[in-house]
Structure 1
Amino acid sequence: MTLIELAQITWEEYQAYAAEDSSKEFAQAREEFLQAARSTAARTLCADAEKLAWQYTPGKQLPEQAEQATALLEPGRPEYLRFRVDHGAETVTFDLVRPCQACGIDRVDEVHGLVDLGRLLAEGSDR
């Protein structure tokens, strides 16, 4: 085997390992982010909020340097909770998002507690 062949084989093996390692790191980071969303929901609302089905939002759908997870409040309802971290601005938000079927513009309100969430949901049902 020549030096060139050895270098090429070594490079190919490295690329395969790096891709697998990167994938594992991403999966671990995603799970840690989802755990942060669940913890924030439990701390802000109640322990039952931690049990919601939190979903990680792919980065292509978000502003640059932002990460988010969402959870439906109840299957069949359009409202959902959103946990978002903007790494560039160093901000963390926990919001209720109420999509408007008529105009396509989401109403987003920060949630500070269970009473606050109840008030926001009541406002939405008045419409």
Structure 2
Amino acid sequence: MTLIELAIDSYNRSVPEAEQQAAEMAESAREEFLAYAKGSAKRSLGDAAAELDWKYTPAAELPEQVEQATAFLVPGGPEYLRYRADHSEDKHRLELVQPCAGCGRDRIESVHSLPDLGRLLSGSGEA
């Protein structure tokens, strides 16, 4: 085998390895982000939040520099929590998202505590 053939063969074998490593690193980053989301919810809302099933939002669905995970409050229900990190501003937020079937727009409010979440879910606009 010539040096050129050896180099090309070596490259062709390394491409799948590099892709596999990249996929493993991306999966690890997703798992780490989900752990942050779960931890944030538990710190803000208490142990009951540990039951939530968090899902990572694919990057293609978000603005650049933003990562997000979501968890429905009740399976099949409309309201959900989202943990969003805007890396361009170094901001992390836990928010309640309440979709509006009538107007098609989501109501999004920051959540700081369990009573705060209760206030938002009860529809009270008072702080």
TM-score of the pair, normalised by structure 2: 0.95
Distance in 2 (CA, whole Å) between partners of 1:5 and 1:47 is 60
Structure 1: which 5+ runs fail to align?
Answer: none
Q: CA RMSD in A?
A: 0.9
The number of residues matched between the two structures is 124
Counterparts of 1:10-29 in structure 2, within 5 Å, are 10-29=10-29
Q: Which runs of 5+ in 2 are unaligned?
A: none
| 1:30-55, Cα deviation, whole Å (9 max, x unpaired) | 00100000000000001120220000
> How far does residue 15 in structure 1 lie from its aligned partner after superposition?
0.9
Aligned residue identity for 2:14 = Y
Q: How does 1:84-95 map to 2 (within 5 A)?
A: 84-95=84-95
Deviations, residues 6-60 of structure 1 (Å, cap 9, x unaligned): 1111111111110000111111110010000000000000112022000000001
Superposition TM-score, scaled by structure 1 size? 0.95
**How many percent of aligned residue pairs carry the same amino acid?**
49
Cα contact 1:38–1:51 (8 A) shared by 2: no
In the TM superposition, residue 89 of structure 1 has moved relative to its aligned partner by: 1.0
Q: Match of 2:97?
A: 97
Runs of 4+ in 1 over 2 A off after TM superposition: none
